[in-house]
A = this chain, B = another copy of it.
Amino acid sequence: MENVKIGIIGIGNMGSSHAVYLNNGEVNGAILTAVCDTNPERLQWAKEALGENVQTFDNVEAFFEFANIDAVIVATPHYDHPPLAIKTLEKGLHVLVEKPAGVYTKNVREMNEVAKKSGKVFGIMFNQRTNPLYQKLRELVHNGELGEIKRTNWIITNWYRSQSYYDSGGWRATWAGEGGGVLLNQDPHQLDLWQWTSGLMPKRVRAFCGFGKFHDIEVEDDVTAYVEYENGATGVFVTSTGDAPGTNRYEISGDRGKLVVEDGKLTFWRLTQSERQFNKEYKGGFGEPECWKIDVPIHGEATQHKGITQNWVNSIRFGTELLGPGEEGIKGLEISNAMHLSAWTDDWVELPINEDLFYSKLQERIKTSTYQKKTVANKTLNVQGTH
């Protein structure tokens, strides 16, 4: 296949970043041919920044009818990811959706089904899967080095956002516009990496959220969640956009020791024997298995968004494996939906969640919202190094 001709729907914060690196020829075998946005200012920017060879559209109908494209990146607000991805796939085009896969699993599941039937390459922008730290962590878990998992614990409070961030877009941090806060906007990466690296999906979830706790917003900016897995292991997930400086520390403990990712380092406290075996056989009262602290060497660099786009383009061209298959987007989203539902019902939520209940509870929040944005700038923010 020659160059994959790519169109982008939504050229706000993320979409414009994709547009720029594609237009600079930084992705092999890909060429940016069209962009689409309903905001005239963004189209004006596109004309100036991307040049005359890139078509611009102010509505998706025209985009799908007239754009010269093989594949589409969907970088709109979250609610539109599934319907636009479905539309793209139904047009016989490949699609790469920004995270999160959507706002509720009900229509993400539909998107997955359409994708499956389409035979097209369906990716999701899980750029943090390109991080060799998490790749190595996943490898050590998946190849059995850690043994059976006992506990996971992710403190991911380093998503600090000031009020001006929330004021930068009318859709931001509203039930109608985003369908959630830190869980939907900032955490899709961690919620995905949590299940991807551990290989475990929770069996049940219990969460406590602060809604507009640190900011003048109506959605959650503070979450503490506890989960149980099928094998009896437990997990904790704490997140916030109100802590400065926050923490990003992810620990997984297992039968053969403990893995911790923090400060860009992966440390493996590796037992020289199984703890479960030691527990049974040791007769000395106090005492624990011998443990080696290992600084795990990490090779390579995270190729991030560009890496995911390259990987998706390669898959289109050569049929190679996707690092972020689109169908997997539902996993982190289901955990996110379960956390919301648990906070709303103040109760445990079993997985798979009741999708209709979640959807109706979300609609309630949209309909009864009395929140009014005080200042809306609709600014496009520089996202360099933030997502």
Contact size range, A = 35 or more
**Which partner residue on chain B sits nearest A381 by CB separation?**
B285
Q: How far is the CA of A226 from the CA of B150 in the complex (A)?
A: 19
> Do B164 and A284 touch across chains, with their CB atoms under 8 A apart?
yes
Q: Determine if A238 is an interface residue (Cβ-Cβ < 8 Å).
A: yes
Q: How far is the CA of A208 from the CA of B204 in the complex (A)?
A: 12
Q: Mark A207-220, 1 if CB is under 8 A from B, else 0.
A: 01010011100000
> Do B238 and A210 touch across chains, with their CB atoms under 8 A apart?
no
> Do A238 and B153 touch across chains, with their CB atoms under 8 A apart?
yes
> Do A243 and B150 touch across chains, with their CB atoms under 8 A apart?
yes
Q: Determine if A118 is an interface residue (Cβ-Cβ < 8 Å).
A: no
Could you say which of A226, A278, A286, A291 has the most chain B C-beta atoms within 10 Å of its C-beta? A286
> Do A215 and B245 touch across chains, with their CB atoms under 8 A apart?
no
> Do B232 and A160 touch across chains, with their CB atoms under 8 A apart?
no
**Which partner residue on chain B sits nearest A383 by CB separation?**
B286
Whole-angstrom distance from the CB of A33 to the nearest CB of chain B?
A: 30
Q: Which of A128-136, A250-258, A311-319 contacts B (4 or more CB under 8 A)?
A: A250-258
> Do B244 and A163 touch across chains, with their CB atoms under 8 A apart?
no
> Do B271 and A168 touch across chains, with their CB atoms under 8 A apart?
no
Q: How far is the CA of A213 from the CA of B208 in the complex (A)?
A: 25
Q: Determine if A170 is an interface residue (Cβ-Cβ < 8 Å).
A: no
Q: Determine if A240 is an interface residue (Cβ-Cβ < 8 Å).
A: yes
> Do B224 and A244 touch across chains, with their CB atoms under 8 A apart?
no
Q: How far is the CA of A249 from the CA of B249 in the complex (A)?
A: 11
13 more A-B residue pairs beyond the given contacts A163-B282, A243-B258, with a C-beta to C-beta distance below 8 A: A150-B242, A150-B243, A151-B240, A162-B287, A165-B285, A206-B206, A208-B234, A210-B234, A243-B275, A244-B278, A245-B291, A247-B258, A249-B249
**Sampled A-B contacts (26; CB under 8 Å):** A150-B214, A150-B240, A151-B238, A151-B243, A162-B282, A162-B285, A163-B280, A164-B283, A164-B284, A164-B285, A165-B285, A165-B286, A208-B228, A210-B232, A222-B234, A224-B236, A226-B226, A242-B275, A243-B275, A244-B257, A244-B278, A245-B288, A247-B251, A247-B260, A285-B382, A286-B383
